Amino acid sequence: MTEKFFLGTYTKRVSKGIYSVQLDTEKKQFSNLTLEAEIENPTYLALNADHSLLAAVSKEETGGITVFNTQVAETLTKVSHFHDTKAVPCYIAFNKESNHLLAANYHEGHVSSYKFDAAVTLTDRVIHPSLEDKQPHVHYTDYTPDEKWIVVCDLGSDIVVTYQQNGEKLQRVSTYNSRKGAGPRHLAFHPTLPIAYLICELNASIEVLAYDAINGSFTFIEQHLLTTSEQQAWGGAIHLTKNGKFLYASNRGYDRIYVFQAHEETGSLTFVADYDTFGSVPRDFHLSKDERFIVIGHQESDNLTLYERNIETGTLSLCQKDFFAPEVVCVIPF
C-alpha cells in the first residue's frame, strides 16, 4: 500500500516548487519524488476537507496564495491566485466548507481572511500593533475545531489572539500572554479534551493550555522544554495523534523529535523519548493517515526521514533517513 504526501519548500537553492512523494507502507520506504507545481517559495500548504483543493503560500511579483485542483490531472492544476502583500504568508488554512481561507503573514505582522469561490478575494485584514519593544510576527492562524473562533499566534508579541468572524470582519475577543520571550509558533487542539498545546519557537517549549470554547480564551497550565541551556532552541512543528494519547514536536535547532504522552483525563504531558531526525532543520513533519509512520522534512539537508511508530507506546523506530527531497519545510498527507 502506498500513501502520497505533498511537500512545501523554499526555492532558494535546489528546489523548484511543490513536490509529492510516495510512502510504501509495506516496504517502509519512500519513492517517486515528483515536482507537482513549479512555484516560488511554497513554504506552507493546506488541503481542504475533501482534499480536492490544495492551497499554497507563494510569491510572484508579490506574496499571496495560489490554489490548485488535485483531482483533474496527474499533477496539480492551478485554479486561482491572489497576491497582494510584499512578503509571502507563512501559514494558511481552509474552513470546513472550503469557502474561506486564512493567512498569517510573519514579516508584515497581520492575519488575513479570504473568501474563496472559484477565485480568492480578500475580505478582511488585521494588522497586529507593536507592543513596547516587540514587533508583531504572526506565525499561525486557524479555526478552532468547532469553527466558532479564529486563533492567531503572534511570535513577536508573545501572544495568542482569539478572533470572532462577524460577517466578513475579524473582531478580537481574547488574548493569551505566553511566557516572556517564548515566541508562540503553532497550536494543536486535543481531540476530546478542552486543552490546546502551544509550541513556542524562541525557547523551544510546549505550553499546555486550558481552552474555553464558550469565550475562546486560553489559560496556562504547564510548560515543557524541548531543550537544555546547552542546546540550540528553535521549536518547529507539533502534532497530536487522533485519539489524543500522544504528542510529537520537533526542535529544528537541535534536530530532534520529541514524544510526549497526554493524560487521558487532564491532557497534561509526560515526556516519553526524543530521537535524532538525521537531518538539518526539521521544520515540519506529519503522521501518516493510519498513524503508523512519521515523515520528517529537513530544510537544510534536503532529505526525508521515516520513522515507524509504536501505536501503544508512542515510541519510534527508524526506517529510512536519506531520501532526497529539497528544502522541505511543510509535509502534509494527501
Domain ranges of the chain: 39-177
pLDDT, one tens digit for every residue, the chain (334 residues) = 999 999 999 999 999 999 999 999 999 999 999 999 999 999 999 999 999 999 999 987 788 999 999 998 788 999 998 888 889 999 999 999 999 999 999 999 999 999 988 778 888 898 887 766 678 999 999 999 999 999 999 999 999 999 999 888 999 999 999 999 999 999 999 999 999 999 999 999 999 999 999 999 999 999 999 987 666 779 999 999 999 999 999 999 899 999 999 999 999 999 999 999 999 999 999 999 999 999 999 999 999 999 999 999 999 999 999 999 999 999 999 9
Q: Is the dihedral of CA 167, 171, 176, 180 positive or negative?
A: positive
What cell does 113 get? 481572511
Q: In whole angstroms, what separates CA 139 from the centre of its chain?
A: 9
What's the confidence (pLDDT) of residue 60? 78
Helices (H), 228-306: none
C-alpha dihedral, 269 to 270 to 271 to 272, nearest 10°: -120
User: DSSP per residue over 170-202, as a string?
Assistant: EEEEEEEE-STT--EEEEEE-SSSSEEEEEETT
Nearest Cα neighbor of 154 from 124, 118, 178, 188 is 178
CA gap 126, 111 in Å, rounded: 5
Model pTM? 0.95
Sheet strands side by side (includes 195-200): 184-189, 195-200, 205-212, 217-225
Identity of the amino acid at 330: C
Q: Of 2.10.70.10, 1.10.10.1800, 1.10.357.10, 2.130.10.10, which CATH number belongs to 39-177?
A: 2.130.10.10
What's the confidence (pLDDT) of residue 243? 98
What's the confidence (pLDDT) of residue 229? 64
CA gap 282, 195 in Å, rounded: 25
CA gap 276, 107 in Å, rounded: 30
CA gap 10, 15 in Å, rounded: 7
